[in-house]
Chain A
């Protein structure tokens, strides 16, 4: 046990982690994701160019999962189909063919693409989820459309919860506006998840499982499931 670890064991854990711990946690998370969730797009580490004159950690960067597709629910597709039916009954045969094709096509266009980035916040000392969404043609989705992709109970959670809410601000590395899940409650509920139990912090247990546990909560906002096998821990 090195000096850093022994200090950690004495001081009660505050639910947060350092930038270099985030890098370790990110490596463990992306590796587990690849192993237990191979059908999903992978989480890739994107190293960031150094902004500062002073040398920063060479492990500075963020995790990126791009092009997760959210297909419109079958209910929506059915309402598309019922519109087709109405159209067919009121127009001539020639027009019918064209209109049907147009309506059907708009159903198939209803695939929303999501990019997710897990970025470390130095001020809150926790990971933050940034996301953006766009149609297949590249057009950005406005927030009220993103909301339709989220499970119903999530809307309630976002409105009422003091722990997760969505803001629209500049991505810390990409200088473009992205949406993010605000991190102010993160360290509190991360502390709860690990019971604030410093004994769990032996041998880097917390670091290794931090992002998996974090994602089990955050992923629910988008109904992104973690396979149970990925959540299994070796000890306790």
Chain B
């Protein structure tokens, strides 16, 4: 799937998944994902990897992206240093 000349529609974006709080750290935390995919794909991936239905997922500019947002849009506006950093935390204990 790695063509030498990718048309814009196949642009892949580097996503770096960062654990915060007491969330478990993934063995592999950097991924390439198609720009045309929705953020929901990242959320679902995290849910499956961590075996949790509820995660708090957010980006560095202090907001939680809507699952319908396109990865490429998030990367263009909020990416840094060629990648989009996505933070995740697990539901905290009731207190």
The CA-CA distance from A194 to B89 in the complex, in Å, is 13
Is A123 interfacial (CB 8 A cutoff)? no
> When the two chains form their complex, are residues B62 and A209 in contact, meaning their CB atoms are under 8 A apart?
yes
Residues of chain A within 8 A of B89, CB atoms compared:
189, 192
> When the two chains form their complex, are residues A231 and B63 in contact, meaning their CB atoms are under 8 A apart?
yes
Q: Which residue of B lies closest to A197 (CB)?
A: B62
Give the A-B pair count, Cβ closer than 8 A: 75
Is A176 interfacial (CB 8 A cutoff)? no
Is A157 interfacial (CB 8 A cutoff)? yes
Q: Write the nearest CB–CB distance from B44 to chain A, whole angstroms.
A: 9
Q: Residue B61 contacts which of A153, A185, A189, A236 (CB distance < 8 angstroms)?
A: A236
Interface string of A52-91 (1 = CB under 8 A from B): 0000000000000000000000000000000000000000
* Count class of interface residues, chain A: 20 to 34
> When the two chains form their complex, are residues A192 and B58 in contact, meaning their CB atoms are under 8 A apart?
yes
The CA-CA distance from A185 to B2 in the complex, in Å, is 43
Q: Residue A233 contacts which of B61, B91, B92, B93 (CB distance < 8 angstroms)?
A: B61
The CA-CA distance from A163 to B56 in the complex, in Å, is 9
Interface string of A173-198 (1 = CB under 8 A from B): 00000000000110011001111000
Seen from chain B, the residues whose Cβ lies within 8 Å of a Cβ on chain A are 20-21, 53-54, 56, 58, 60-69, 73-74, 77-78, 87, 89, 91-94
The CA-CA distance from A158 to B66 in the complex, in Å, is 16
> When the two chains form their complex, are residues B58 and A193 in contact, meaning their CB atoms are under 8 A apart?
yes
Could you list some 14 contacts between A and B, CB below 8 A? A156-B54, A192-B20, A192-B56, A192-B87, A193-B62, A194-B62, A212-B63, A216-B64, A226-B63, A228-B73, A228-B74, A231-B78, A233-B61, A236-B60
> When the two chains form their complex, are residues A157 and B56 in contact, meaning their CB atoms are under 8 A apart?
no
Known: A156-B53, A192-B21. Is A161-B91 also a contact (CB below 8 A)?
A: yes
> When the two chains form their complex, are residues A232 and B92 in contact, meaning their CB atoms are under 8 A apart?
no
Interface of B: prevailing SS: loop
> When the two chains form their complex, are residues B63 and A220 in contact, meaning their CB atoms are under 8 A apart?
no
> When the two chains form their complex, are residues A232 and B54 in contact, meaning their CB atoms are under 8 A apart?
no
The CA-CA distance from A117 to B65 in the complex, in Å, is 22
Known: A209-B62, A213-B63. Is A225-B68 also a contact (CB below 8 A)?
A: yes
> When the two chains form their complex, are residues A220 and B54 in contact, meaning their CB atoms are under 8 A apart?
no
Residues of chain B within 8 A of A153, CB atoms compared:
67
Q: Write the nearest CB–CB distance from B37 to chain A, whole angstroms.
A: 16
The CA-CA distance from A231 to B63 in the complex, in Å, is 7
> When the two chains form their complex, are residues B64 and A217 in contact, meaning their CB atoms are under 8 A apart?
yes
> When the two chains form their complex, are residues A163 and B92 in contact, meaning their CB atoms are under 8 A apart?
yes
Residues of chain A within 8 A of B62, CB atoms compared:
193-194, 200, 209, 213, 233
Most buried by A among B63, B68, B87, B93: B63
> When the two chains form their complex, are residues A216 and B92 in contact, meaning their CB atoms are under 8 A apart?
no
Residues of chain A within 8 A of B53, CB atoms compared:
156-157, 160
